[in-house]
Amino acid sequence: MSSYETDSMRHNVKLPKLVIDKYAGDISQWQYFWGQFETAVHPNPNLTTTDKFSYLRSYLTGAAANVIAGLPFTEASYDNEFNCCITGLAEKIWLLMLIDQTSES
């Protein structure tokens, strides 16, 4: 079998649709969730920053969703601003979830 035939067969394989798990605030699941989001949504050049923010909101539930519920839903001016916003959001969600879980103990 030639390499062309092998490459052609690889392109015909149907992969399952990727699904990002929702995040409700469990600190032990944060890295997993954030890794999925950063890989599947954040680098997608076909999405606007408001699309990305909308996706982020749709993947958060419970206490994690409450953390960003009051943030304005606006288009960021530059990708760097969005990156800073998301990084800050990630840290804020993680810290608030840590505080919430500590207070429950």
Q: What is the pTM of this model?
A: 0.64
Other C-beta atoms closer than 10 Å to the C-beta of 15 total 5
22 has a pLDDT exceeding 90: yes
Segment 67-88, tens digit of pLDDT: 777 777 666 533 544 565 566 6
3-class DSSP state for residue 60?
A: strand
CA 11 – CA 88 distance, rounded (Å): 38
pLDDT at 9: 59
Rounded to the nearest integer, the mean pLDDT of the chain is: 75
Segment 52-64, tens digit of pLDDT: 888 888 998 988 8
